[in-house]
Structure 1
Amino acid sequence: MKYLLDTHLCIAIIKRKPAAALNRILQHAADDLGVSSLTVGELRHGAERSAYPQQNHAALDAFLAPLVVAHFDSAAAARYGALRAELERETLPLGPLETIIAAHALSLGATLATSKAGELAGIPGLEIENWSET
């Protein structure tokens, strides 16, 4: 897996907005693309809370089918603990879930594909690509 897709980007691709995000995913082989098991949980939560949960779970299943699902393992957990402490020392504001997904990408050696690159720019060693831009 070369790219770990974050939650924001997955939602953009599923909704097909912006079109640039959908175009970027189509440029890559499915085995180069993955999502964190934690991202899957967030997406399931969103589908469950929606006005049309059955329809949204079906759309999510179709989206996830060709992707690699990377399980959050002990290496990712260790990377998260170190990264969160580092960000707190440097007072870089980043939400816990964003920090976890960034740590997961770092532990996998994957580039984090996102639609919100600005929030993640201060994370040392993290390769980021904004797929919502053309």
Structure 2
Amino acid sequence: MKYMLDTNICIFIIKKDMNVLSKLKNIDFKEICISSITLSELEYGAAKSMYYEKNKKALQDFIYYFSVLPFDSDAAYEYGKIRAALEKKGSPIGCMDMLIASHAKSQNLTLVTNNTREFSKINHLNLEDWKK
């Protein structure tokens, strides 16, 4: 595996954003995964919407194509290091973003996100923005 998709990129794919889909079509889906943390964010978004059934179906259709990696102890250790480093620098990021970043970093995967400004605060995290 090579890529882990951030929540915002997953949403762009579900909504059929042409910029993101044009990048996606050139990559074998076996090279792409999402974090179980991202899945929880996507489910939350569907559950709070007025169109839960429709959005849940779209989520299930999306998930069919990608592996969902469970957040494991390696990711948990990485999270602790990332959080401590960001607090020392005085530049924290959102908790869910730290969890997703630590998961990608622990697996040595490139995190695909449209939020590179936030994630670039994390040292040695490989990033790509497929929205550009």
Q: Give the alignment's TM-score, normalised by structure 2.
A: 0.96
Please state if 1:28 is matched with 2:27: yes
Distance 1:28 1:63 in 2: 16
Q: How much has 1:119 moved relative to structure 2? A: 1.2
Residue 66 of structure 1 corresponds to: 65
- For 1:12, the equivalent position in structure 2 comes to 12
Asked if 1:131 corresponds to 2:130, the answer is yes
Task: Supply the distance in 2 between the matched residues of 1:119 and 1:89 (Cα, whole angstroms).
Answer: 16
Aligned equivalents of 2:55, 2:8: Cα separation in 1 = 16
For residues 1-134 of structure 1, the aligned pairs below 5 Å read 1-17=1-17, 19-133=18-132
* SS of 1:69 mapped into structure 2: strand
Runs (4 or more) in structure 1 with deviation over 6 Å come to none
Equivalences, count? 132
Tell me if structure 1 keeps the 8 A contact 2:6–2:100.
yes
Alpha carbons 2:93, 2:118 under 8 Å: kept: yes
Structure 1 gap segments, 5+ residues each: none
Contact 2:83 2:92 in 1 (8 A): no
**What's the CA shift string for 1:86-118, capped at 9, x where partnerless?**
110011231111111110000010000011111
Identity %: 39
Q: CA RMSD in A?
A: 0.9
Once residues 121 and 45 of structure 1 are traced to their aligned partners in structure 2, the CA distance between those partners, rounded to angstroms, is 25
Counterpart-to-counterpart distance in 2, 1:24 and 1:91: 34
